[in-house]
Amino acid sequence: MRKTVIISLSIIVFLAGAVGSFIYFKSRQKPKEIPKPLLKYTFENLKNTKFPESKITFGEKIDETNDYVSQIFYFEVPEKPDSLNFLKISGLANIPKGEGNYPVIVMFRGYIPKETYKPGAGTQPSAKVLAKNGFITLAPDFLGYGESASPSATLFEDRFQTYVTALTLLSSISSLKNIGADIAKIGIWGHSNGGHIALSTLAISGVNYPTVLWAPVSKPFPYSILFYTDETDDHGKAIRKSLAIFEKDYDSELFSPANYHNWIKAPIQIHQGTADEEVLPFWTDELVNTLKEDNIDVSYFKYPRADHNLLPSGWNDAVLREIEFFKEEL
pLDDT, position 36 = 86
Give the whole-angstrom CA distance, residue 109 versus residue 90.
14
- With vertex at residue 70, the alpha carbon angle to CA 64 and CA 71, rounded to the nearest 5 degrees, is 120
Dist CA 126 CA 164 (whole Å): 24
What whole-number distance in Å separates Cα of residue 326 and Cα of residue 277? 28
How many other C-beta atoms can be found within 10 angstroms of the C-beta atom of residue 208? Answer: 14
Helix axis angle, 193-205 relative to 155-171, nearest 10°?
60
Number of neighbours of residue 66 by Cβ within 10 angstroms: 6
pLDDT at 5: 47
pLDDT at position 239, please? 77
138 neighbors 68 (Cβ within 8 angstroms)? no
Q: In sequence order, what are the beta bridge partners of 211? A: 188, 268
Strands of the 298-303 sheet, one edge to the other: 57-64, 68-78, 86-96, 136-140, 102-108, 181-191, 211-214, 268-273, 298-303
Rounded to an integer, what distance in angstroms lies between the CA atom of residue 133 and that of residue 320? 10
Strand partners, 73: 58, 91
CA distance 144 to 147: 8
Q: What is the pLDDT of residues 98-127, one digit of tens each?
A: 888 999 999 999 999 999 999 999 999 999
- The dihedrals phi and psi of 69, each to the nearest 5 degrees, come to -120, 135
DSSP 1: -
What amino acid occupies position 2? Answer: R
Evaluate whether 98 touches 68 at the Cβ level (below 8 Å).
no
Contact 120, 92 (CB under 8 A): yes
The amino acid present at 101, given as its one-letter code, is N
Rounded-to-integer distance, Cα 243 and Cα 237, Å: 10
Q: How confident is the model at residue 237, as a pLDDT?
A: 78
Cα 88–chain centre separation? 17
Residue 269 to residues 36, 62, 92, 189, Cα–Cα distance (Å): 37, 30, 23, 10
Q: Do 266 and 202 contact (CB within 8 A), yes or no?
A: yes
DSSP H or E stretch at residue 60: strand 57-64
> Please, what is the Cα angle at 236 between 234 and 237, to 5 degrees?
75
Backbone angles phi, psi at 191, to 5 degrees: -125, 135
What tens-digit pLDDT sequence spans the chain (330 residues)? 555 545 554 555 455 555 455 555 555 555 555 678 899 999 999 999 999 999 999 999 999 999 999 999 999 999 999 888 999 999 999 999 988 899 999 999 999 999 999 999 999 999 999 999 999 999 999 999 999 999 998 878 999 999 999 999 999 999 999 899 999 999 999 999 999 999 999 999 999 999 999 999 998 887 777 776 666 667 667 778 878 878 888 999 999 999 999 999 999 999 999 999 999 999 999 999 999 999 999 999 999 999 999 999 999 999 999 999 999 999
- Pick the closest to residue 82 from 35, 36, 49, 55 (CA basis): 49
What pLDDT does 2 receive?
52
- pLDDT for position 56: 97
